[in-house]
Amino acid sequence: HLGCSDSAVANLGVALLSLEESEGRLLDFLSRARTPLCKPLFDPKYALRLAKERNRRHASVKLLCELRLYEDAVPLALAVDLGLAKAVANSPEDDDALRRKLWLSIAKHVVQVRLCLLGGGTCVLNVSIERTGRTHWCGAMRKRWHNLAG
């Protein structure tokens, strides 16, 4: 238990932990710094701004989910880990339509990456890949795939 329920102290904790090289302690803090009613002691928008500025992608995904911004969290989670994106897609338990939309975006991403890796030429469905900033990664992976295959 943190032993302190002051939001200013919690915000300071977020700021300091977001400076660390590893995200582990920041993620732990974001999970534990809660009121008895499970509301965050820190300001989630402030924490999200810090996480984005300091390239803390796991924390950013967690905070986007905290703010119920699942449609923004999925593309970022896909840049981190497919398993994380799947967990985000399952998060909105009370909204089947949103969950379906999130899963569709994950499926689209998986198909696009596979087309990119196996296509040999230009990525067929490049729209989402550009949106998530994966165009260069896609080209590099395609080159590596051809080097392995050829």
Residue 17 has pLDDT above 80, yes or no: yes
Residue-wise pLDDT tens digits, 45-77: 999 999 999 999 999 999 999 999 999 999 999
Q: Count Cβ neighbours within 10 Å for each residue of 3-24 and write b for 16 or more, e otherwise.
A: eeeeeeebbebbeebbeeeebe
- For 36, residues 6+ apart whose C-beta sits below 8 A from its C-beta are none
d(CA 106, CA 132): 12
Question: What's the pLDDT at 141?
Answer: 45
Q: How many residues are listed for the chain in this entry?
A: 150
Residues facing residue 34 across a β-bridge = 40
Answer whether residue 3 shows pLDDT above 80. Answer: no
Overall average pLDDT of the 5-12 stretch:
93
Q: Is 132 helix (H, G, I), strand (E, B) or coil?
A: coil
Q: What is the pLDDT of residue 1?
A: 43
What is residue 18's DSSP assignment? Answer: T
From residue 108, alpha-carbon distances to 27, 56, 96 in Å are: 28, 25, 18
Per-residue pLDDT band at 13 (split at 50, 70, 90): very high
